[in-house]
Chain A
């Protein structure tokens, strides 16, 4: 127990050093023109991935890149870009991986269709086994 705590402490310290070494992010609060715009900002940053942390979205992450990308999203919103344009901007630079909700396209058909296919297969298997049992019950001699 004690060693694991020590390990975590060391890990935290070493990691924090590399973070502090980078230029401190400019942390001005973002100003929005309307509630609607702020909602869109929140929605977008929830759906865009922070690429350095990979399993966090832009809204949650405190990485330098996330700061910069949030600023970018904010700026594009204020400039009047649509949500799709902003997502397109990110995809052009970082690839589909930046999107938490993968687009339906050739290389994601399996991803989108597999659950439905599995459900269908399950249904077929269930149906056939239910029928088999029903047939078994019917044919069994009644006393």
Chain B
């Protein structure tokens, strides 16, 4: 009768909620960035290779580019380094290394030791720009289109799968579109 079925239904509902909750908790580590489809935060930062020089958001307009936040203190950045290197070899996209909350000597030493995959490295010493990008863990990677709009963000270690399924197709779209 009804009285028997109701508690059972209630229990089933709780189980469903639990499963849904666990699924969502899983996704929480990769939250969607509110910056997707928004203009890239404005910055004008010193270039690591020649600190007297700066590079601004404006000067990067007109091409697809990747902004990769990293630091020599970041273990995961070391882990994703081979993937960034592979990607750089393709020459498919301009890669900006955003060295944040790091000492420049450490950054230079890190790049010398493991190889420098970046077209340019910028210094975000106090992490100000990283806050504007909504970065909360390293590494984080943003793909910016020629109009200066963020079209994709990846939180955490970049994998070749992400490069192939998320980054390269977006670049190919641009070529066929123009």
Q: Which residues of A contact B103 (CB under 8 A)?
A: 23
CA distance A93 to B142 in the complex (A): 13
B28 at the interface (CB under 8 A from A): yes
A69 x B31 contact (CB < 8 A): no
> With A18-B75, A22-B71 known to touch, is A93 a contact of B133 (CB < 8 Å)?
yes
Q: Which of B32-40, B45-53, B60-68, B90-98 contacts A (4 or more CB under 8 A)?
A: B32-40
Give the interface size bracket for B toward A.
Answer: 20 to 34
B102 within 8 A of A: yes
Interface size grouping (class) on chain A: 10 to 19
Give the chain B neighbours of A91 by CB distance below 8 A. 34
Interface presence of A72 (CB below 8 A)? yes
Contact A94 B102 (CB under 8 A): no
Contact residue among B74, B102, B136 (Cβ-Cβ distance under 8 Å from A51): B136
Bound CA–CA A52/B74 (angstroms): 14
Indicate if A65 sits at the interface (CB-CB under 8 A). Answer: yes
Which B residues are CB-close (under 8 A) to A95?
Answer: 31-34, 134
- A68 and B136 in contact, given A18-B75, A23-B103, A54-B28 (Cβ under 8 angstroms): no
CB-based nearest A residue for B127: A68
Q: Are A69 and B34 in contact, CB atoms less than 8 angstroms apart?
A: no
Are A64 and B101 touching (Cβ within 8 A)? yes
Closest Cβ–Cβ distance, residue A44 to chain B (whole Å): 15
Complex CA–CA separation, A93 to B34 (angstroms): 6
Is B127 in contact with A94, judged by CB distance below 8 angstroms? no
Interface residues of B in 117-159 (CB under 8 A from A): 126-127, 131-134, 136-137
Known contacts A18-B75, A93-B131; decide if A52 and B34 are in contact (CB<8 Å). no
The 0/1 profile, CB within 8 Å of B marked 1, for residues 74-91 of chain A is: 000000000000000001
Give bound CA distance, A95 to B75, whole Å: 26
> Could you list 15 further interchain pairs (A-B, Cβ under 8 angstroms) beyond the known A18-B73, A68-B127, A95-B34?
A22-B74, A23-B102, A52-B136, A52-B137, A64-B101, A65-B136, A92-B34, A93-B35, A93-B132, A93-B133, A94-B134, A95-B31, A95-B33, A95-B134, A97-B28
